[in-house]
């Protein structure tokens, strides 16, 4: 009988300790900036995944709260569309006002986490003269990348060891991580994108 | 002695609750030529396991009990749209005319993924799913058979096929039920389907604008049944909840079944 109770107890404890852990991790999650308000339902910061930057730092997306995010998914070994996407990002950054740029981060998310190590992302950043803290390069695990793409409605598929096929979409998120604008296609008109950034960056 | 029997019973109860070796079918990997992808190049699929049946409303109810954040009233819009569990009357009950043993539908990709994770499993990849779905009752690849395609196409025309108990359609070569004829199913990489011209606005038809776009195309346009499936996948988003879209889980072949109730 004792044993039975013991087992029951250990089960209960197990359950309780799991619960505790969960609560703890929720409590200790970093609260970015001075904004302690709950995240909007559609916030991309709801994603639990963690990412590594080109500097080798591990971050949660929520740490980016408080800045407008302009995001695109690429892979560094890409020869065709990605340089165009990179150019599109650079053009947008140039056209956005200085005031808005102070509150904006331009983020590249790799769809090829196996190849795109932080070191490689860093090199890519340097080559493209995007080597300051306005530009962020992120790499997650395969699962997190697939999930992130699902949020962005970016489709991608590895079509050879070297190449991916992917949709070309630049997304703008407001300071709470809510998607507010998407630009589809390469070299397309970016005036709406710039408008969206200006509108959400300057309070 | 008494103690011994009791603890034995306890163990039995536990094992009865957790080990359901029969829940999944072992699939022997191989190569197949998918409709879309490496342009007629075979894709290899490793050995893996897949649920014999789609996940049911009843199964999903258990998941909700232990994972309240996926309840209708709790779920975040980023992960499931307003149609999520639309056929449930509240957080824990189906509407009266719904079947507990019918496949659960109106579930988003995020929710399906969380369910499989909770069961110590994962969603099947698109290639894994298609590989199993090529089979009819007697052969592993029945795609060239008229009967196989006719069955699928007649299903497309039949309304409310989601309103059936799982297991109502045929058991295929692998011992897996309901791959066709009931509901469409989520795959882990549903968003890997790129129908050519994908920018959704189609303003750039130039092949050079897409990494590897030349490699995209239909390897068998006649296979309309499968084309519909791929087109459907390319049209959905991860938080969509759709009445005829359900899911089942898979697992690597070296992983043990059970380990249910793992925290997310």
Q: What are the extents of the domains in chain A?
A: 44-201
CA-based nearest residue to B19, from B262, B177, B256: B256
Strands B30-32 and B43-45, how do they pair? Answer: antiparallel
CA B257 to chain CA centroid, nearest Å:
17
b or e along B112-139 (b: 16 or more beta carbons within 10 Å of the residue's beta carbon)?
Answer: bbbbbbbbbbbbbbbbbbbbbbbbbeee
The answer to whether position B210 is within a domain reads yes
Q: Do B77 and A154 count as a contact with CB atoms less than 8 A apart? A: no
pLDDT tens, position by position, A131-175:
888 999 999 999 999 999 999 888 888 877 777 788 889 999 999
Query: Based on the structure, what is the number of domains in chain B?
Result: 1
Q: Do B204 and A185 count as a contact with CB atoms less than 8 A apart? A: yes
Nearest CA in chain A to B264: A22
The tokens of B9 are what? 């019973």
A163: contact with B, CB 8 A cutoff: yes
A121 SS3 class: helix
CB of B128 closer than 8 Å to CB of B45: yes
Q: Domain range holding B133?
A: 18-252
**At B195, is the pLDDT very low, low, confident or very high (cuts 50, 70, 90)?**
low
The tokens of B197 are what? 């011209």
Mean pLDDT is lowest, of A33-37, B20-24, B157-161, B235-239, for: A33-37
pLDDT tens, position by position, B111-154:
999 999 999 999 999 999 999 999 999 999 998 888 888 898 88
Q: Do A163 and B211 count as a contact with CB atoms less than 8 A apart? A: yes
CATH number, position B89: 3.90.1580
Kindly tell me if the per-residue pLDDT of B57 is higher than 60.
yes
Taking the C-alpha atoms of residue A14 and residue B73, their distance in angstroms, rounded to an integer, is: 27
| pLDDT score recorded for residue B74 | 95
| pLDDT score recorded for residue B207 | 41
Q: Read off the pLDDT of each residue in A22-43 and give the average, rounded to a whole number.
A: 60
pLDDT tens, position by position, B110-121:
999 999 999 999
**At B263, is the pLDDT very low, low, confident or very high (cuts 50, 70, 90)?**
very low
Q: Read off the pLDDT of each residue in B166-189 and give the average, rounded to a whole number.
A: 96
Residues of chain B in contact with residue A157, where contact means CB-CB under 8 angstroms, are 37, 189, 192-194
The answer to whether position B8 is within a domain reads no
Q: CATH classification of A44-201 is 1.10.10.10, yes or no?
A: no
Residues of chain A in contact with residue B124, where contact means CB-CB under 8 angstroms, are none
A83 SS3 class: helix
């Amino acid at each position: 009988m004792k044993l039975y109770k013991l087992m029951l107890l250990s089960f209960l404890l197990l359950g309780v300790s799991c619960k505790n852990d969960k609560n703890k991790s929720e409590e200790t999650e970093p609260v970015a900036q001075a904004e302690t308000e709950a995240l909007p339902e559609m916030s991309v910061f709801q994603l639990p995944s963690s990412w590594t930057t080109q500097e080798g730092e591990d971050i949660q997306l929520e740490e980016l709260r408080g800045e407008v995010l302009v995001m695109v998914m690429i892979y560094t070994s890409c020869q065709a569309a990605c340089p165009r996407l990179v150019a599109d990002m650079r053009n947008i950054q140039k056209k956005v006002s200085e005031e808005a740029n102070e509150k904006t981060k331009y983020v590249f998310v790799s769809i090829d986490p196996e190849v795109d190590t932080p070191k490689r992302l860093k090199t890519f950043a340097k080559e493209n003269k995007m080597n300051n803290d306005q530009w962020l390069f992120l790499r997650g695990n395969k699962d997190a990348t697939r999930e992130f793409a699902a949020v962005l409605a970016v489709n991608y598929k590895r079509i050879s060891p070297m190449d991916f096929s992917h949709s070309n979409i630049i997304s703008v998120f407001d300071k709470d991580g809510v998607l507010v604008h998407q630009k589809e296609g390469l070299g397309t008109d970016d005036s709406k994108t710039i408008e969206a950034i200006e509108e959400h960056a300057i309070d | 002695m008494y103690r011994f029997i009791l603890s034995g019973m306890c163990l039995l109860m536990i094992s009865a609750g957790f080990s359901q070796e029969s829940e999944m079918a072992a699939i022997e990997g191989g190569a197949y030529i998918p409709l879309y992808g490496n342009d007629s190049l075979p894709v290899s699929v490793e050995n893996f396991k897949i649920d014999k049946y789609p996940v049911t409303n009843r199964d999903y109810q258990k998941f909700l009990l232990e994972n309240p954040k996926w309840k209708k009233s709790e779920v975040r819009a980023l992960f499931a749209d307003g149609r999520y569990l639309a056929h449930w009357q509240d957080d824990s009950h189906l509407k009266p005319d719904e079947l507990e043993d019918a496949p659960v539908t109106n579930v988003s990709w995020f929710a399906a993924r969380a369910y499989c994770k909770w069961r110590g499993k994962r969603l099947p990849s698109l290639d894994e799913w298609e590989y199993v779905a090529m089979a009819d009752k007697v052969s592993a690849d029945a795609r060239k058979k008229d009967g196989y395609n006719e069955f699928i196409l007649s299903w497309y025309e039949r309304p409310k096929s989601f309103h059936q108990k799982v297991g109502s359609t045929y058991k295929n070569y692998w011992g897996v039920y309901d791959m066709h004829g009931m509901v469409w199913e989520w795959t882990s990489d549903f968003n890997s389907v790129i129908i050519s011209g994908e920018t959704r606005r189609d303003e750039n038809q130039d092949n050079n604008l897409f990494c590897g776009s030349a490699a995209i195309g239909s390897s068998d346009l006649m296979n309309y049944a499968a084309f519909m499936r791929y087109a459907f996948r390319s049209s959905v988003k991860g938080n969509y909840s759709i009445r005829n879209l359900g899911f089942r889980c898979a697992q690597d072949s070296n992983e043990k079944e059970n380990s249910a109730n793992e925290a997310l």
